[in-house]
Structure 1
Amino acid sequence: MRLDNFDIRLLRVFMTIADCGGFSAAQAHLGLSQSAISNKMHDLETRMGLRLCERGRSGFRLTAEGERIYEETRILLGLIDQYEDRVGQIRHVLFGHVRIGIIDTLATNPECRLAESLRQFCHDFPQVNVSVTVIDSMDIESLLLQGRLDLGITSSEKDMPGLSYDRLFVERQCLYASPEHPVFALGKEVLDKGDVQAFAVAGRGQSHFITPLEAGFNTRAVSAHMEGTVFLLLSGEFIGYLPNHCAKVWVDQGRLRQLPAPALEYSPAFALTRPRYGIRSQAADRLSEAILASHFSHPQAADDAAN
């Protein structure tokens, strides 16, 4: 099969569908209707003479041939990105596509200056496309190692081999619950671990073990994402950790209340995370530099990250 630009575009659609896990989930990423996506997949399968995926009432899955084409296409698109990068260096113009993964609720964190980084980067390199994906730290690290992301902002319990971590800032997290939660009926000015232990906790799940309540407590619900934790706490059934900046809107509305438990507060660190080995694009390196510069140009951020 001889490839042209039309085929490359179809292959990119296929990769997005596979990464999203189906046609419906890929609509927002592609900006296409489900019928348009279906037509493009039909065109690609016809041109290749292969059935790449099964879709229908039983759900979406790649066929054996589709899985092999997925891996080959990932390699191909990586080579195309490298080619564009090298041509850009020759022309002294940066091209390409940078894929960055971040964890949720960073937008409300005043210590996170990713918006400033992106503003400067997009101004300096208008020919580079940027995609931002919001997922859990563990998934970001996995996708970085697979070559499916270029950069990440993560908060991890320990560094993974094969990745580098540049600490950017820390975040204060406290315990919260609905004002109607029975923990407040204890009437104590300061709560300790024993007071909280009697109640159900919303934990982070298996990918997070760093909160002071992860071990030995009644963890009846889990969410690796703050948005999920908010819903659990709003139900009135659980106690759990939230970043103060994330909880503020709910506290201001009177729907959540901070527990007076200073001994159980903690401050996780956030880091710019990158693959340690392999070829990194010039575009990814320039965005990394912009992220580091925007955080360490602020004296307070530099002090926090160093501590």
Structure 2
Amino acid sequence: RTTPHGPWAYLKLAGGCDRVCTFCAIPSFRGRFASRPLPEVVAEARWLVGSGVRELVCVSENTTSWGKDLPSGRRGQVALIRAFEGIEGLERVRLLYLQPAEIIPELLDAMAASPVVAGYYDLSLQHASPRVLARMARSGGAERFLRLLADIRARDPQAVFRSSFITGFPGETEPDVDVVEQFLIDARLDWAGFFPFSVEDPTPSATMPDQVDAAVARARRDRLTQVAEAVAADAASGFVGRTLSILVESVTGSQAVGRSYREAPDTDGEVHIAGCDVPVGQLATVRVVAAEGVDLIAEPVIVPGPRA
């Protein structure tokens, strides 16, 4: 274990992967999916919180597979969430790398109802064209993914979403890119990342026909990034006027920077707070007064004290 140096830390739930995505070499060097047992995960979580961590960012190659190789099965994911809720001092849990094809309703119900699990849904989509997804050996497509988003929003109206997409996968055409662009507009993702396809040995995609020129893949990435940034900025502006709980991560003078449930560390935006005297590692209640791109600008909410 490495002693954490801030108010948040990664917590590994599992290793390896059983999926056979044609672009990914992870199964070849990390092996089959192996869940860490619940007591082991909870013990490390308690240790991290005891070391000053207030937010746990749970990671694995496929978090929605957690428990499938344990006696509890995938429904053990609910017990995992309940265990997190019982850890005193733990303010927020963030579940990353949710595989749409493996999400069970019980997990969505537990996430939406939990007082500690962030309403942050990091969905592993990779593309929106069913044709390209099939070549990736993945299921789904724009229509199915939109139904999933609607299902989550029905449970958790304040849900925020992140996903990543590959551009220039072998055989991808301009109409396939059009599908992704329309999906981004319809899905209203809060965060999206785009990566041009790169050959990874030994994977089936490395020898597929119809390889897309690298310059074309980069151009498609840039095109979709522009669309996604506009969608993300619009989503951020929708938070103006809202009251949020912010985990303070740095303080300079009277200026603080932190994150709400909508921002994962390392990848997303930040919340900038003027006139904040809350120390690092504590939660500040703020009101959002403006959005600058994907970042939020906020001011502290003053809680009246008792009358003298």
Q: Do the structures match in fold with TM over 0.5?
A: no
The two structures have a TM-score, normalised by structure 1, of 0.29
The two structures have a TM-score, normalised by structure 2, of 0.29
Would you tell me which structure has more strand in proportion to its own residues?
2
Larger radius of gyration between Structure 1 and Structure 2: 1
Q: Which has the higher contact order (CA 8 A, sep 6+)?
A: 1
